[in-house]
Amino acid sequence: MNKLLCFVMVAFSSLLILFLTEAKTGGFSIELIHRDSPLSPFYNRSITPAEVMTNAALRSISRIDHFRQSSMDESKAIESVVITNGVTYLMKISIGTPPLEFFAIADTGSDLIWIRCTPCVCYPHNSPLFDPSKSSTYQGLSCDSKPCTALSPDQYGCGDTKKCQYSYRYGGKSFTNGNLSTDTFVFSSTDGQAVSFPISVFGCGRYNGGQFTGAEAGIVGLGGGSLSLVSQLGDKIEHKFSYCLLPWTASSASKLRFGMEAVISAGEGVVSTPLVSRSNQPTFYYLNLEGISVGDKRVPWSSTAQGEGNIVIDSGTTYTMVELNFYNNVEAAIREAIALQPVQAPPQSFKLCYATSSAGADGLIPDMIFHFTGADVRLKPFNTFVKINDLECLSIMPSDDISIYGNVAQVNFQVEYDLGRKQVSFAPADCTK
């Protein structure tokens, strides 16, 4: 009798999964939650807005250090650049049958999806562990499976059971080790329905540590590599995803869209630029930046880097980072455009700030245009400056070499990644809708 009941439950679950998957083939959207939002498990009401902005600057600098490490030796496997205590956005993902829900880091700078599993040698945590023995759809992958061999030789191994064991390293000396597996992923769409994807690959993390805070249960990689969520969903989402980011002060969540729901409607203000492929670095999304205009003055790109693809677009880095020589030219143009004297001692990590308490810098900050190949993206002052107490500080920062287009610059834009056509599109948007 118990066996019959178990069979019926598994059969029903399979039918439900099939129904839900087919019901959402047009696409779906889920919430992205900013780490400093009251909706976030990281939320700390005792931190001031100025501290939020300063901490974001430190995280941006840390994150670019690990982009740099990943790019230094192209003959080696890329170390994922996510800085676990530098996470900007979180998403909810449910795994298993029956499904168990987790908060995980959403990261365009990494590929592997993994969740803490029991038994676990883990960092201190306040979120549940996934127990594979309680999921009727869980399967460990063999060493000769395609997902296992997609890992680099130093990222996987085999034990006596011939099951795939992964080992993944992150920036900041964080790590996860465990079993590469498959199970059903379930997402709660913003329209109130659930959408499921069976036989999805993820890491069942049994030995994890480093700079994880305990609020996150794992990481959902959204990069360009074969094990990322967007690559696994592939044809099911027509190789398209997009996001519309809100500032951290917003009372509602940002949106992450997949499939046809990710497509930006044709209209005024929509611009597109090619994604630049780098076979040795498939995780990262490279664009080509030709210059930045400050008001009416255009500053052409200058760099020591060779070839196309000079800037990474990344939802996980807060502030935009550009190479030092180019930054100096852009800063000079901003100083020339703003008829105020900058403060002599800007806050930690910021290079250019203006006092707003009496001078009224708000109305003096010009729009800036990022000139990507084929796409001019006009940024408002809230995309290029952040408020720290009574100061307005430039949210573009210098880097020794790597350049990143950060998420403050992307606030209130719908940003669509069409991986089939190899392009990224931008459209100004009210991301509360």
Catalytic (active-site) positions: 107, 314
Q: How many helical (H) and strand (E) elements, i.e. helices and strands, does the chain have?
A: 6, 27
Residues of the chain with CATH 2.40.70.10: 15-42+87-259, 264-428
* CB < 8 Å & 24+ apart, contacts of 57-60: 57/318, 57/319, 57/348, 57/349, 57/350, 57/397, 58/348, 58/349, 59/83, 59/85, 59/86, 59/88, 59/317, 59/318, 60/86, 60/317, 60/318, 60/319, 60/321, 60/397, 60/404, 60/406
Q: What confidence tens digit (pLDDT) does each residue in 23-67 have? A: 345 799 999 998 887 787 777 777 887 777 777 776 776 676 656
Would the pLDDT of 70 be above 80?
Answer: no
Stronger pLDDT, 124 or 221, i.e. the higher one: 221
Would the pLDDT of 5 be above 90?
Answer: no
Report the alpha-carbon distance of residue 182 to residue 145 in Å, rounded.
11
Torsion 383-386-387-392 (CA) sign: negative
Q: What is the pTM assigned to this prediction? A: 0.87
Structure tokens at 124: 């201190």
At a CB cut-off of 8 Å and minimum separation 6, what does 136 contact?
6, 9, 10, 13, 97
Q: What confidence tens digit (pLDDT) does each residue in 249-288 have? A: 888 899 999 999 999 987 778 999 999 988 778 889 999 9
Whole-number mean pLDDT of the chain? 83
Structure tokens at 57: 């600057």
pLDDT value of residue 305: 64
Cα torsion for 230, 31, 187, 120, to the nearest 10°? 90
> How do strand 89-95 and strand 27-34 relate by DSSP bridges?
antiparallel
- Is the separation of the CB atoms in 152 and 77 below 8 Å? yes
Classify domain 264-428 by CATH number: 2.40.70.10
**Which CATH architecture fits 15-42+87-259?**
Beta Barrel (2.40)
Torsion 301-305-309-312 (CA) sign: negative
pLDDT value of residue 66: 58
Q: What confidence tens digit (pLDDT) does each residue in 304-343 have? A: 666 689 999 998 888 999 999 999 999 999 999 998 899 9
